[in-house]
Amino acid sequence: MSLTELRPASHRPAPPPKNVRTRSWLHRFDNKTAPYIFISPFFILFGIFGVFPLIFNGVVAVRNWRLDDPTLTGWAGLDNFNRLLSDEDFWNALGNTFGIFILSTVPQLLIALVIANLLNRKLRGNTFWRIGILLPYLTPVVASTLVFAIFFARDNGMANWFLSLVGFGQETPLDWRAQKWSAWIAIATMVNWKWIGYNALLYLSAMQAIPRDVYEAAAVDGAGPWRQLWRITVPMIQPVVVFTVILSTIGGLQLFNEPMMFDENPQSASGGSAHQFQTIAQLIYKVGWKDLDLGYAAAMSWALFLIILIVAGINTLLTRRIGGDR
């Protein structure tokens, strides 16, 4: 455009092109509708595989739906949820789930933080350590759990061998599956082993974004490494901490594979002879596909959904507070 052409626009409207209507329609389509079509595959798939099952599950939860007795059918209202309140198996499973959840999440995130902090320093062979710490995460959970199940075996298990080195349980080896506390520890160990490296890498990547001069200033002011970790690093990576806390809350409350494979008789899904380590996810599976009571299982999974929402919310609030939220 040149200055010489700066004259007023003609009042006469330009002669309408023959196909202006089509063109403007196409233009509008291109601008307004096409983007939605481009992203529609996600929403269509999400609708089919995400929203629909969720809603359908809600419908099943208020119905009688028994595969072993097709005559028992129809609306159940809130019966399934009422039954939940007085079901001692459910509360037992809830207790187990929270026990294992706390035993696994707390040490897992703390150790991950310390490891990430170590890896964040100048180290020889940085990449080697960083890849090495992710390796447990790459192992299929079934494979690693099988190995741990042997590790925690009563006869000839490595864990008991270690214990016997310090003079414990030589007469009667510890049956890890028999007691709540020992089974919980064994399962939490499996979870920790798998997820520490993953969380450490997340923390590490966030830590790398913290400017160095903050630490230098802190060091000048006389803050030691621990103080720096808690007063600078953790607050500055707080969004990632919140993220990992939510992730491990969801994962921890849905724990299924580890207790399942740890059981001596995995097919019964009973989580030990007295349900010592039966988690809610396992109980849902058992009620749904062993007892073939799908309505009740659906009610349980809705309950679990609500519990996860509540716990994740509480955890987020707590983490924000710990992180010294502004």
Partner 1 sequence: MRRTLGVVAAGLAATLVVAGCSGRDLESDNKSEGGSGEQITLKVAFWGDMGLDNLKAAYEKEHPNVKIVLNSGEFNAQHEDLQKKLVAGSGAPDISAVDEGFIVQFRNQADKFVNLLDKGAGEFESKYLDWKWKASQSADGKQIGLGTDVGGLAMCYRSDLFEKAGLPKDRDAVSKLWTNWDDFIKVGQEYTKKTGKKFIDSGTNMFNPVLAQQPVGFYDEQENLQMNGGPKVAFDVSMKAIDAGISANLASFQPNWNQGFKKDQFAVLACPAWMLGHIQETAPDQKGKWDIASIPGGGGNWGGSWWTVPSQGKNIDAAVDFVKWMVQPAQQIEVFKTVGNLPSQPDLYKDPAVLDYKKEFMSNAPTGQIFAATAANLKPQYLGKKNGPTRVAVENVITRVQQGGLKSDAAWAEAVKQAEKVAKTGKA
Q: Does 102 bind partner 1 (CB under 8 A)?
A: no
DSSP H/E element including 64: strand 63-65
Cβ pair 273, 206 in contact under 8 A: no
Q: Does 273 bind partner 1 (CB under 8 A)?
A: yes
Residues 229-258 that bind partner 1 (CB under 8 A): none
Q: Which is nearer to partner 1, 40 or 126 (CB)?
A: 40
Q: Does 67 bind partner 1 (CB under 8 A)?
A: yes
Q: Which residue has the tokens 């403007």?
A: 24
Shortest Cβ distance from residue 267 to partner 1 (Å)? 4
Half-sphere exposure of 59 (CA within 13 A, CB side): 8
Q: Which is nearer to partner 1, 258 or 293 (CB)?
A: 293
Q: Does 290 bind partner 1 (CB under 8 A)?
A: yes
- What tokens appear for 7 in the block? 């004259």
Residues 2-41 that bind partner 1 (CB under 8 A): 26, 30, 34, 37-38, 40-41
Q: Does 153 bind partner 1 (CB under 8 A)?
A: yes
Q: Which is nearer to partner 1, 2 or 172 (CB)?
A: 172
Of 1-9, 100-108, 236-244, 260-268, the segment contacting partner 1 by CB under 8 A is: 260-268
Is 237 strand, coil or helix?
A: coil
Q: Determine which residue in the list 163, 205, 256, 291 makes contact with partner 1, applying CB under 8 A.
A: 291
How many CB atoms are closer than 10 A to CB 288? 21
Distance CA 279, CA 326 (A): 37
- What tokens appear for 68 in the block? 């072993």
Q: Which is nearer to partner 1, 11 or 32 (CB)?
A: 32
Q: Which residue has the tokens 């209202």?
A: 77
Shortest Cβ distance from residue 9 to partner 1 (Å)? 28
- What tokens appear for 207 in the block? 């830590």
Distance CA 128, CA 37 (A): 44
Q: Determine which residue in the list 264, 309, 313, 314 makes contact with partner 1, applying CB under 8 A.
A: 264
Q: Determine which residue in the list 2, 31, 127, 265 makes contact with partner 1, applying CB under 8 A.
A: 265
Radius of gyration of the chain (CA): 28
Q: Which is nearer to partner 1, 65 or 195 (CB)?
A: 65
Tell me which long-range contacts 286-291 makes (C-beta under 8 A, separation of at least 24). Answer: 291/68
Distance CA 259, CA 270 (A): 9
Residues in contact with partner 1 by the rule CB under 8 A: 26, 30, 34, 37-38, 40-41, 44-45, 48, 67-68, 70, 149-150, 153-156, 175, 177-179, 264-265, 267-268, 270, 273-274, 289-293
